[in-house]
Amino acid sequence: MQQDQRRTGGRTQPRPGAARRSRGRRILQWTGGSLATVVLLVAGAAVWAYNQLSGNITSTDVERALGEDRPVDLHPGALDIALIGSDSRAGTNGQYGDFDTMQSDTLMLLHIAANREWATVLSFPRDSWVDLPACDMGDGTMSEPHQGKINEAYTLGGLSGDPGNAAVCSMKVLEATTGLRIEHFVTIDFQGFKGMVNALGGVEVCPEEAVHSEKADLHLEAGCQIIRDEDALAWVRARYNIGDSSDLGRIERQQEFLTSMAERARSQLANPTALYGFLDATTRSLTTDSELASVADLASLATTMMSIPEDAIDFRTVPNFPRSLVVPSDQANVLWQQPEADQIFEALRNDTRPPSDERLGETPADPGTGGGTGAEDADPGDAGGIPPSHVPVRVLNGTGTGGLAAEVAEQLRQAGYQVIEVGNAGQRVEFTSIAYPNGMAKQAETLAGDVPGVEPFVSTATSAAVVLTIGADWPGLDP
């Protein structure tokens, strides 16, 4: 099944993630150290509490559960860890969503370079529309491969109530869509998350405007304040009537909250009672793979993260655009923007730093052998064209020959193109044409290379695709 991933065209807004980077980059860089600090605090507990805290952690043998049909690990020295925020909405948190099954509202991939000099934390919007592979639903029954939201994988795997199996299904979809081999996972349950916040006496948040979300029962005044209990959970979980009500806005809010929580946890180091309460709540909320299922294992991971300079920890979000540009009736989901998303995945597969936002969209040179050299160091002069697999095409029949568009569409699919629509032009046309929206000139050039004698032109269309209109002079595709 082809996943309908598209590159946007004709946009005037900044590249994905660029709008908040001036203020958000500082927050995101802090968050990398903050996550490590939380884990390090767990590892720094007194020896007498070691067994108790380790015993709180639930674990799953992912190697056996994931099976053998997995991506090849191109750089075994690097670490790839799925970070999952989960919750069951069947209980007191039903107001945050419309389901009463296990949910994954936060999905990130932590890549730590083999040379341990840099790391990337890549966030996957939960509204990402992707191909979901078959997965064990917890009772031995396999789900059918289909397209859906990326967080549906966690729900399918968690139908039996097992968070470990749910995480395995999330790891499967990450491996299938990124081509990375994911060795580990850490899941934090949001119910346990409340206990962590309460053990610290609350956490400070600073909304710029007053928040009134009836759906989440969250009401906060503008300005800095300490929140706890349901307010804290609602702050990181709720989406509507907060900020721009987007999933990306919620991702930023969660990252800010983690930063604030880690800072407050640091302040409790001199209070053994409060610190132990926090560590106890933290470990009770964790589910990991069996190789990370102890305080010592988490300590090793935390020490590694703490050794990486803050400015070498890069937080990114998978480039995306509204799926409504391709499927107008879908106003809820996003598609990953190509080739930008694949460029990030490819860089991580090769253990190289992903291209900067400014460089995404270019075709990079050979990223090399890894170990810390960045893809941004590649010579842009070595860039080639966009491959057909990254070219979405609408095929329109402007002739009187029935079925010609469907025939050409099949030929394009065989050549590797992503055909997203087949239909008729509004009228018969004499000349074949290739039109493209702003930002998709390279994709149009790729298609023109297979349609002899046709020069592409830019149009005012907002559809995120190259439009091939077949005219009476249709020359056929180059063999």
Residue position matching structure tokens 């055909």: 419
Q: Which residues pair with 119 in a beta bridge?
A: 112, 313
10 Å Cβ neighbour count for 213? 19
**Sequence-distant (≥ 6) Cβ neighbours of residue 106 within 8 angstroms:** 83, 84, 85, 123, 126, 251, 254
What are 119's two structure tokens?
A: 């790391």
Write down the domain spans for the chain. 21-322, 324-382, 388-470
25 backbone dihedrals φ, ψ, rounded to 5°: -60, -40
Cα separations in angstroms, 133 against 13, 66, 184, 255, 350: 33, 12, 19, 29, 24
Cα distance between residue 295 and residue 44, in whole Å? 9
287 backbone dihedrals φ, ψ, rounded to 5°: -130, 130
Any idea what the Cα angle at residue 428 is, between residues 427 and 431, rounded to 5°? 125
Mean pLDDT, range 164-171, rounded to an integer: 92
81 backbone dihedrals φ, ψ, rounded to 5°: -130, 125
Which has the higher per-residue pLDDT, 251 or 371? 251
What are 27's two structure tokens?
A: 């927050």
CATH of domain 388-470: 3.30.70
pLDDT at 244 over 70: no
Domain 21-322, CATH number (from 3.40.50.1950, 3.40.630.190, 3.40.30.10, 3.40.50.720): 3.40.630.190
**Sequence-distant (≥ 6) Cβ neighbours of residue 103 within 8 angstroms:** 86, 87, 88, 89, 97, 151, 154, 155
CB 68 within 8 A of CB 334: no
**Sequence-distant (≥ 6) Cβ neighbours of residue 193 within 8 angstroms:** 85, 232, 233, 236, 285
Cα distance between residue 126 and residue 248, in whole Å? 9
Q: How confident is the model over 265-292, as pLDDT tens digits? A: 777 666 777 777 888 888 888 889 989 8
Residue position matching structure tokens 């509490």: 49
Quote the pLDDT of residue 461. Answer: 58
Lowest mean per-residue pLDDT among 101-105, 145-149, 367-371, 468-472? 367-371
Lowest mean per-residue pLDDT among 103-117, 124-138, 297-311? 297-311
CA-based nearest residue to 123, from 291, 341, 352: 341
**Sequence-distant (≥ 6) Cβ neighbours of residue 327 within 8 angstroms:** 4
What are 360's two structure tokens?
A: 């995404």
Quote the pLDDT of residue 184. Answer: 94
Quote the pLDDT of residue 276. Answer: 76
Lowest mean per-residue pLDDT among 35-49, 225-239, 323-337? 35-49
N-to-C CA span, the chain: 25
Band of pLDDT at residue 459, cut at 50, 70 and 90? confident
Cα distance between residue 264 and residue 203, in whole Å? 7
Cα distance between residue 409 and residue 415, in whole Å? 10
CA-based nearest residue to 303, from 18, 8, 41: 41
Cα distance between residue 165 and residue 162, in whole Å? 5
Cα distance between residue 36 and residue 31, in whole Å? 8
Quote the pLDDT of residue 213. Answer: 82
Asked if the bond preceding 437 is cis, omega within 30° of 0, the reply is no
Cα distance between residue 373 and residue 312, in whole Å? 12
Q: How far is CA 402 from the centre of its chain?
A: 42
Cα distance between residue 340 and residue 360, in whole Å? 5
CA-based nearest residue to 80, from 186, 180, 187: 180
Quote the pLDDT of residue 252. Answer: 76
Q: How confident is the model over 394-435, as pLDDT tens digits? A: 899 999 888 999 999 999 999 999 888 888 887 888 999 999
pTM for the structure as a whole: 0.64
Burial per residue of 226-250, b for 16 or more beta-carbon CB atoms within 10 angstroms, e otherwise: ebeebbbbbbbbbbeebbeeebbeb
Sign of CA dihedral 305, 296, 114, 69: negative
